[in-house]
Chain A
Amino acid sequence: EAAVTQSPRSKVAVTGGKVTLSCHQTNNHDYMYWYRQDTGHGLRLIHYSYVADSTEKGDIPDGYKASRPSQENFSLILELASLSQTAVYFCASSFTSNSDYTFGSGTRLLVI
């Protein structure tokens, strides 16, 4: 069954440390996305990609980098984690930019 798998499911990171969140999809989708979810803010787009080896900035890219080494894999990188980056992060994929999104189950990140 086609799916979006995120790892880890949860993580505790120290302030100033490097954090990498991983996402793998088996949907054969070209588009992949990283969102963060905070209470009261819904889903906010951080970075997205429509082809391997290329990434685009979303609405809130500051403090985050993204990497798309292959069609199936999309990573979110926090080079210097900060307290304000405590949130739940969701990866999603889609066939085209405006077709249905398939979301992963999320990664709960706590920065201390």
Chain B
Amino acid sequence: GDSVTQTEGQVALSEEDFLTIHCNYSASGYPTLFWYVQYPGEGPQLLFRASRDKEKGSSRGFEATYDKGTTSFHLRKASVQESDSAVYYCALSAPNNRIFFGDGTQLVVKP
């Protein structure tokens, strides 16, 4: 079945560090891939999505590239800020099917 695996349960960084959160997926065909972000006390919200191989999604300095060859959609940011502290969810949806979420990665950025 369709699934998403996020390798890191928690990532701790200092401000201006480079961020990578790994996301690998399992699905047939070309699913749509998403990154959602959840700030404390709020519900998850869409960060961005990508629907085709090699498509790059980006928002607020975060970016990820759809890679069908390695079935990955890793989240990256060149220089994190304390305000980026949140839980990040990778997700996928196959056509005519619901969204499947990964287990989430807690990002903690220290000033």
Total contacts A-B at CB 8 Å: 50
Using CB atoms and an 8 Å cutoff, list the residues of chain B in contact with chain A.
9, 32, 34, 36, 41-46, 49, 89, 93-99, 101-104
Rounded to whole angstroms, the CA-CA distance of A33 and B100 in the bound complex is 12
> Taking the complex as formed, is A48 at the interface, i.e. its CB lies under 8 A from any CB of chain B?
yes
A92/B43 in contact, CB under 8 A? yes
Binding site for B on A (CB under 8 A): 4, 33, 40-43, 45, 48, 90, 92, 94, 97-98, 100-101, 103-106
Other 18 A-B pairs with CB < 8 A, given A41-B103, A98-B95, A98-B99: A4-B43, A33-B98, A40-B9, A42-B102, A42-B103, A42-B104, A45-B98, A97-B93, A98-B96, A98-B98, A100-B34, A101-B36, A101-B44, A103-B43, A105-B41, A105-B43, A106-B41, A106-B42
Say yes or no: B46 contacts A100, CB within 8 Å.
yes
The answer to whether B46 touches A90, judged by C-beta atoms less than 8 angstroms apart, is no
28 of the cross-chain contacts (CB-CB < 8 Å) are A4-B43, A33-B98, A40-B103, A41-B103, A42-B89, A42-B102, A42-B103, A43-B89, A43-B101, A43-B104, A45-B98, A90-B43, A94-B99, A97-B96, A97-B97, A97-B98, A98-B93, A98-B98, A98-B99, A100-B34, A100-B46, A101-B36, A101-B44, A101-B46, A101-B99, A103-B44, A103-B45, A105-B42
